[in-house]
Amino acid sequence: MQTFFSEDHRLHFPQAELSGGEFVTPYERPSRVECILHRLRECGFPGVTDPGPVDMGPVARLLDAGFLSFLETAYADWKAEGYGGEVITTAMPTRHQRMDRIPRCIDGRVGYYCHASETAITGGTWAAAQSSMASAQAALRAVAWGARAAFALCRPPGHHATRDQFGGYCFLNNAAVVADMFVAQGAKRVAILDIDFHHGNGTQQIFYGRGDVLFASLHGDPMDMYPYYAGFADETGAAAGEGTNLNYPLPPGTPYGPWSEALDHAIARIRAWGAEALVVSLGVDAYKDDPISFFKLDSPDFTDCGRRIGRMGLPTVFCMEGGYAIEQVGVNTVNVLEGFENA
């Protein structure tokens, strides 16, 4: 399985994240990628390939033009208005407030286009987000040209980014753009399977009213965990998308047994629906020692998970999402890929 990865991910490394009332080093940090690359080499995976430049055409087709323009200039605008440090939102529109006016002031625009204040924008964020998208697009091309599967080592991740908002460490929704590119290339039905511990609220929002992309997510119950306001089981899609949004919220302490039952149910639904291609939002933060999750999967469980996904026999693009137990993120990620290849 070929891996696509850009060194430009290093351009995005915020120095602080607001967590539990304190500023801490962000959990989503460059060393995550180093651990995965080391494990890929250790396990004999083929060399890592630079993806080349991003194609913003498919991105602009799916995401909001104003949002993309904001991301491109946010840091420069922040500095131009005299703010120091990194771009962090201080205000976001809430219920009973207006969403039909975009503030002129950069401080207001950041809040308008953001849904979680732990996520900062730096001077290199836009370039890093584009390079992450480029990796996802290169993996898609490899599969479109005949590979059984490809791995996009995306950083920053993407599944929390909606059509017009960033947050949850995510700026551009890599998995969503890849799924839409599959459709643009002729696939009638594409499935996205999100196994990250946190609900892929951005991916859900983008496809909620569409009938050509099925989204299935296994995640911590939003009553107990971020993103809190999406990911409930009764969110099943709307209009043409009714029945193509599948959420599996699971309680604190969930071990692999119940988790794998939910995975099998999602896989059965994807099979029955007739998906022609698969995008996997590959988060490994369901791991038992992850610092910002509460599931209890162990490292061998990720191998079995990959094996179950591989048995679907679909052309598959893996897009890296979360996983913050730095010591094990490489092992757990590569276990999924090995399980898939050995299915």
pLDDT of residue 339: 98
Q: Which of 284, 231, 282 minimizes the C-alpha distance to 256? A: 284
Buried b (16+ CB within 10 A) or exposed e, 130-165: bbbbbbbbbbbbbbbeeeebbbbbbbbbbbbbbebb
Q: Which residues are catalytic?
A: 160
- Sequence spans of domains, the chain: 2-60+124-341
User: The whole model's pTM is what?
Assistant: 0.98
d(CA 284, CA 277): 22
pLDDT of residue 13: 97
Q: Are strands 48-49 and 277-282 parallel, antiparallel or unpaired?
A: unpaired
Tell whether domain 2-60+124-341 is in CATH 3.40.800.20.
Answer: yes
Sequence-separated (6 or more) residues with CB below 8 Å from residue 22 = none
Read off the pLDDT band of 258 (50, 70, 90).
Answer: very high
47/81: higher pLDDT? 81
Q: What's the whole-number average pLDDT of the chain?
A: 97
pLDDT of residue 196: 98
The secondary structure of residue 128, as a DSSP letter, is H
Token code pair at residue 180: 């839409």
Which long-range contacts does 105-109 make (Cβ < 8 Å, 24+ apart)? 105/81, 106/74, 106/77, 106/78, 106/80, 106/81, 107/81, 107/83, 109/70, 109/74, 109/77
> Is residue 270 predicted with pLDDT exceeding 90?
yes
pLDDT of residue 127: 98
d(CA 247, CA 318): 19
- State the CB neighbour count (10 A cutoff) for residue 47: 8
pLDDT of residue 18: 86
Amino acid at 144: A
> Is residue 47 predicted with pLDDT exceeding 90?
no
Token code pair at residue 281: 């939002």
Q: Which of 285, 297, 291 minimizes the C-alpha distance to 260? A: 297
